[in-house]
Structures are given as structure tokens and as C-alpha cells.
Structure 1
Amino acid sequence: MRIDLHCHSTASDGTDTPAELMRKAGAAGLDVVALTDHDTTRGYPEAVAALPEGLTLVTGAELSCRVDGVSMHMLAYLFDPEEPALLAERELVRDDRIPRAKGVVAKLNALGVPVTWEQVERIADGGSVGRPHVATALVELGVVPTVGDAFTEEWLADGGRAFVEKHETNPFEAIRLVKSAGGVIVFAHPAAVKRGRTVPEDRIAEMAEAGLDGIEVDHVDHDPEARDRLRGLAKELDLLVTGSSDYHGSRKAVSLGAYTTDPDVYGEITRRATGAFPVPGAGGI
């Protein structure tokens, strides 16, 4: 059983529509795929309608969080998407993305980069606007060779020359909100040092005490040493261990199913969730 619990569509910063993502997941031989767009669930209906037979969809979202000045992401699974408190927080984060992105464009212009808001808006194509869309604009302009090269201190990384802060949820509040909405919550790529500062392990222990369900261990941004360390931490804190591709279509050089979650862990996630249930494919459209 092949299970990929972290994927993005054009509803946020992926390059495949939700329907295309479901079809590609089926073609890649996945049995279960999670749709975890940034701070939004608007891709759900299209994904459900396109589910091929034999593929199960886990509905979710990747929540933007910050603690002690460190930006981090939380993967929320199988929560009630209409639960008012969590919905209001997601909307607050999502709505702040536009002024944040416009601020990044303004900083780039001041640095002599001729990127425009219209260009970024075109690339986002109605999705939840994020730094990867600005990074794609920089690639189009020949400023950097790849999206990943834009996430440096020279350009868009936290604290970089064109960085602009946005509203991000405190992770302890995210844990409370997701659990109240019947969901399961996992710390995404906690050791991704190339993205910037990471959350110390004592803080992760506090999150475990507050109800964190798991940590994403098998991820493209974790080297073997980091994975071993995180597995040990998960065992110590009694946290679930997940693995996933963090697939973004052509925006990142990682394939669907490149990293997967153990079926027993997936089973435990579905047992803990009460806000929503996995959706089995019925043939799609």
C-alpha cells in the first residue's frame, strides 16, 4: 500500500490542478494521497470529483505557523473544513498572503528586479498566493535558475533581502484548533535546515504535550542523519512518523510517492480523526 500524505495543487502553489493531481497520483500507483494546500481547502470538490477508482483521498491543509520567530508548517488531516474557529484562522492567514506578496514585489523592485504584481497574479492563477509564485516570476525573468534558488538570503528566504512577514498561526493554537475540528496534526519537514532556522527539539516536545500527533520524517529536505534523529525523537515523544513527497508538480523536482507513510500509521491517523473521513475513488471524471 503506497501512501503520500503531503501534496499541493493549483489551489495553492502546485502546478497541477486538483483533478490533474488525482489522476497523476493514480497513475503513479498510489493507493492514498492527501491534498494539503497552503491554508486552504478550496481544491477539495474538484479533487473528489476526479478521484480514479482505487485511489483514496485524505483531505487536509498545510497551515502556516510561527513560533519564537521561526516559520514552520503544520499538516492538518481529516478536520471539519467548516468548523468556524479553524476556518476563520485559515482565512486570516490566506487573506494576508496578498498584501505580503505585494510587499515582496515592492522590495524586489527596490532591488532592481522588474517583477510585477500582475506577473505574480498570473502565475498564481487564482491559487492561494505564496512565495513560490514570486520565485517562479524570478525564474521567468532569469534572475535565478530554479525556484529553490530564490529561497536564499539574497532573495526570498526568511530574513532575506526581499522577505516580508505575514500573519502566521502559533503552532500551539493550530494544534488546539485542528483537534477541536476533529483533525489530526503533524509537524511538516521539521529538520529542513535549508529553508532557514528550525524549531528546537524541546519545543517539539512541548507541542507533543499539547496534542501534536506526529512529525514528518521521510521528506526530500531531510538527509539520512536527520531522519534517524527524528525517528528517535518520535519514539521518545510517542509521535507518529509520516513520510511524503511534498509534491508541487513542476515547481519542485520531486515525484509523487517519492516518500511514503507506513500503512499502520495511516490507519492510526484515520482512527484518531473525527472531523472527516477519507474519500474512496469511484472512477473520477
Structure 2
Amino acid sequence: MKLKTNYPVDLHCHTTGSDGADTPKELIDSAAELGMKVIAITDHDVLPPSKIEVAEQMVDPVVYAKNKGVKLLPGIEFSCETEIEDVHVVVLGCDYTDPKILEINQKIVDSKIDAYQKLVELLSEKGYPMTWEEVLNYNNISRKPEDVQKKLIFNLMAEKRYVDTWSDAKLLIRNDPQLSIKREKPGAIEIIKLAHETGGIAILAHPYLIDPVVKTQGETMSRDDFIKTLVNAGLDGIEAAYTYDKTTYKGELTKDEIIKKVALDYQDKVKIISGGSDYHADYKKTDKNIRSIGECGITWEYFQQNERLAKL
């Protein structure tokens, strides 16, 4: 089958398990139609699905994908660092039934519910009325409170025409101190350690979405120095090929310039130069800044030849 997208391996995709619009089955089906070799389900701060519904039966998503000619990697994109925005670590290949994973997952769930309910209340008070029930049922999907993602709130703001796009909503909230509610997040180093203890690998997602200068635990440091602390803690990989042109990135470099710079800067510092689209099936809600599966990623040859990726 001829590949219909840029890269045959996409290690950063989302589904309705968090804030994506495709079900896991729809994601797999679309990837197969595009001729993808490998995709990863990396929903935000939630366990990957162990079963998906296919023709009214519950089946193993990895087996379903394999039968479609696609290798599926279950993963999690962990939101890390309470004081620093956009520090996300993609974890792949873990034992997701391990008690350590389940324990940290529950802590994350508890922190999200409290913070996101408060945010909805504050938005309504500031002239952007919405209800918690609207968030729970966004896109006609009934969710439990523990399954709510912050991007659902951004999406709802755009749908209500309070802003033009979800990224505008993200920036509005981020830049307003009254709305920027900090939920308790695990440290990135803690997640790297957790990944290794449970048999997996840890990849820093979209490094250039992190501010050039960060403040944490009373210290101020450059983005590069912060990432260096993660590398020293055993970070396995870093995402180079990423859809910066379709996110909240406001720096001066182009997407292609960032891809080349990250690969060059970290090729000798980490074992994996990763890539992914951060696919959310946004096309179902908007025609602006649509990301497609495999728009960014890595080559099949690199996946096969990289020792750590090949073992997944």
C-alpha cells in the first residue's frame, strides 16, 4: 500500500479516551487506510484502552490493529510539572496494570477534577458561561469526571464562539492569572523513573512548547538547562518532528527549523529522536489548523533500527 501521509510511524496520537474526536477504533481504521506502519495511542493522563468495541464485541486493540496491518503502541502522555506549562512526557511500553502506574493515575485524576471544576466556575464568572455538565458531555460523549481533559474546556469555548480556536482559549486562560489554576502534576523526573520501573520508555513531547525561560521550585533556568536535568535523569527520547505550526507555539523558528535543531542538539544526548502529529481528529469540529495522522513522526527504517523502539 502506498503511504498517503508524511511519515509511516506516528508516536503521538489522541482519541476520545482524552480530548481527541476519534474513538480508538476510528484512529486505527484511519491509520490503516493511510498505510501507516506504527501508531501510538497517547491520551492525556489516562490509561490506554485494554479493550475496544468492534461490531458489538470487545476486542484487544493491539490485535485489532495488527489484523489491519498496523502496529499499535499503547501509551500515556503525562502532563508534568505544576509550575511549568507544556511539559509533557510520552510513556510507551509500560505494564499499565502495575500498581505504581495505577497509583499515580489516581492522584492525577483527583487533581484534575478539582482544578477543572474551579476553572469552569471562574470562566462563567468572567463572562464565558458554561456548565460542568456541558464539559462532561462535550461532543455528545458522556464522560465521567475523571475522564475530563482541559482541552475539552478550550474546545467548548471555541464552539460557543468566545474565541476563534481552542488554542486561542488556551492562551487566554494561560495569560490571565485569575484563570490560570495550577493543578498538582507529577514531576517529569518522577515519570521518567516510573516508566523505567514499569518496563517502558519516556519521551519528552514538543520541547519547544516549553517557555524559553522557566521557573520552578524557586529556581529560574533556561529551557535547555531544564531539559538537561531530564536527560541526566535518564530521559530516553525527545520529540523532534512535531506540528508546531498548528499549536500555540509563538517562537520565531519555523517548524522545519525546530525539527532540525532538536535532532541536531539531542542526537548524542538521548537514545530516541522521536516524532508525532499530536493528532486529535480536530477536523470533526473545525477546519483550522487540522493535524493529520503521520503528518509528523519518524521513518519505518528508524523505528526498526532503533534498539529501544524496536523492542516495543
Q: Could you say which TM-score interval applies, normalised by the shorter chain? A: 0.7 to 0.9
TM-score by length of 2: 0.79
1:12 CA drift (Å): 0.6
Q: Does residue 135 of the first structure (1) align with residue 138 of the second (2)?
A: no
Q: CA 1:68–1:139 in 2, change beyond 3 Å: closer, same or farther?
A: closer
Query: Matched residues in 2 for 1:86 and 1:259: separation?
Result: 28
1:11 CA drift (Å): 0.6
- Sequence identity, in percent? 27
Query: Matched residues in 2 for 1:219 and 1:141: separation?
Result: 29
Indicate the larger mover: 181-190 or 34-43: 34-43
Alignment of 1:172-187 (within 5 A): 172-187=189-204
SS at match of 2:32: helix
1:217: which partner in 2?
240
Unaligned runs of 5+ in 2: 1-6, 53-60, 216-221, 246-254
Q: Does residue 2 of the first structure (1) align with residue 17 of the second (2)?
A: no
Q: Does residue 163 of the first structure (1) align with residue 180 of the second (2)?
A: yes
1:243: which partner in 2?
275
Q: Is the 8 A contact 2:8 2:294 kept in 1?
A: yes
Query: Matched residues in 1 for 2:80 and 2:179: separation?
Result: 20
Q: Is the 8 A contact 1:78 1:273 kept in 2?
A: no
SS at match of 1:255: coil
2:94: which partner in 1?
79
TM-score by length of 1: 0.86
Q: Is the 8 A contact 1:240 1:265 kept in 2?
A: no
Query: Matched residues in 1 for 2:293 and 2:177: separation?
Result: 30
Query: Matched residues in 2 for 1:272 and 1:187: separation?
Result: 15
Highest relative contact order (Cα 8 Å, sep 6+), 1 or 2? Answer: 1
Q: Does residue 21 of the first structure (1) align with residue 23 of the second (2)?
A: no
1:60 CA drift (Å): 0.6
- 2:44 corresponds to which letter in structure 1? H
Report the RMSD for the aligned CA atoms in angstroms.
Answer: 2.6
Per-residue deviation, residues 141-200 of structure 1 (Å, max 9, x unmatched)? 210122122111x3x226554221112110111111110000011000000258996961
Q: Does residue 266 of the first structure (1) align with residue 280 of the second (2)?
A: no
SS at match of 2:45: coil
Per-residue deviation, residues 39-65 of structure 1 (Å, max 9, x unmatched)? 112424213364242111011110110
| Corresponding residue to 1:61 among 76, 85, 98 | 76
Q: Does residue 126 of the first structure (1) align with residue 156 of the second (2)?
A: no
SS at match of 1:224: helix
1:68 CA drift (Å): 5.5
Q: Is the 8 A contact 1:158 1:196 kept in 2?
A: no
Count of paired positions: 273
Query: Matched residues in 2 for 1:69 and 1:194: separation?
Result: 8
